[in-house]
Amino acid sequence: MMTSVTVLVLETYADVYARHLREAFPAIVVHPVKTVAEASLDLTSIDVLVAFGIAIDDAMLRSMTRLRWIQSLATGVDHFLRCPSLRSETILTSARGIHGPAMRETVAYLMLTMSHDTPRLVRHQAAHRWSRDRPWPLLAGKIAVLAGTGVSGSAVGELLQAFGLRVIGVSRTPRTEKGFDAIAHTDTLPELVRETDYLINVMPGGPQNAGLISRAVFAALKPTAFFINIGRGETVDEAALLDVLRDGRIAGAGLDVFATEPLPEASPFWDLPNVFLTSHIGGLFAEYDQYALPLVIDNMERFLAGRHGEMRNLVPH
């Protein structure tokens, strides 16, 4: 078993992760830091990095000449994969599988916010206005097309089915999966969305998914349809989305992610009346460490035992 292992935990609540790691593995050395600016230690001594990829740049990764394993605290590892200094011998694992509850609640929040026109209700409350002039549409009986049929997609699909929606998934590997009434091939998406009421994107980033929600897809949506995005901004043709929103060719959008983040102050998305947006907070839930820590500790145990091939959520690169 490896014992001489130095771990850098780079996360807002790094102290929580460090405490649990030290309790579980007394022989390892753990350095918790909340921000890159605080990481003033000798990076050449780091064997293991536990972090969200968004905080890491290539220069930092290049400095970690001893780095043997990266445990991403996010499902997506595209930030790490884009770093040229990521060495092929460095093990990369993701946090895939822990986000189902958060993703389904975020989708429900955005869908209900849009269908109930919550911003309008907030304005009425601020104005002390009692108004019953607009009936809101039920989710029950509607059709949702869900791009992404992995762990998060399945969790979202199960909740939507409980609401009474018919849920159609799209995947490059159509199959039977819980949470879906049917799964079609991704190539059929423009045709598939013609009758949908909600197009929901939970697709991860990566070259294979770039621009997947295309201009042709948005053009096929009916005027009463809503678009919900909790996946990655790069998977969406945002110029096409802006066009259909401005022209009223779809009813609206609930957006948690964007191609450029933070969303620039000059972005027109901020001011569109049929858009409700949040600042990529779908995965920013208070109990995050409770979901991530069992995975991190399990993988650390396998890593220290040299059982690298048995580590969970291995990402080839």
Active-site annotation holder among 120, 232, 246, 307: 232
CATH superfamily of 100-277: NAD(P)-binding Rossmann-like Domain (3.40.50.720)
Asked if residues 250 and 218 have their Cβ atoms less than 8 Å apart, the reply is yes
Please tell me the predicted confidence (pLDDT) of residue 4. Answer: 83
Q: Whose CA is closest to 263, among 279, 275, 244?
A: 279
Name, in order, each residue with C-beta under 8 angstroms of 180's C-beta and a sequence gap of 6 or more.
146, 149, 154, 157, 167, 168, 169
Residue 19 has a pLDDT of: 97
Question: What is the H or E stretch that residue 112 is in?
Answer: helix 100-116
For residue 62, indicate whether it is catalytic: no
232 a catalytic residue: yes
pLDDT at 1 (0 to 100): 54
Please check whether residue 240 is in contact with residue 263, taking contact to mean a CB–CB distance below 8 angstroms: no
CA–CA gap between residue 132 and residue 224 (Å, rounded): 21
CB atoms within 10 A of CB 119: 14
Secondary structure (DSSP) of 38-97: G--S-GGG-SEEEE-GGG--HHHHHH-TT--EEEESSS--HHHHT-TT--TTSEEE--TT
Specify the pTM.
0.91
Digit-by-digit pLDDT tens for the chain (317 residues) are 555 899 999 999 999 999 999 999 999 999 999 988 887 789 999 999 999 988 899 999 999 999 999 999 998 898 899 999 999 999 999 999 999 999 999 999 999 999 999 999 999 999 999 999 999 999 999 999 999 999 999 999 999 999 999 999 999 999 999 999 999 999 999 999 999 999 999 998 888 899 999 999 999 999 999 999 999 999 999 999 999 999 999 999 999 999 999 999 999 999 999 999 999 999 999 999 999 999 999 999 999 999 999 999 999 99
CATH topology for the 6-98+288-310 domain: Rossmann fold (3.40.50)
CA–CA separation, 289 and 295 (whole Å): 10
Pinpoint the residues of the chain covered by CATH 3.40.50.720: 6-98+288-310, 100-277
Please tell me which residue in 104, 116, 280, 308 is annotated as part of the active site: 280
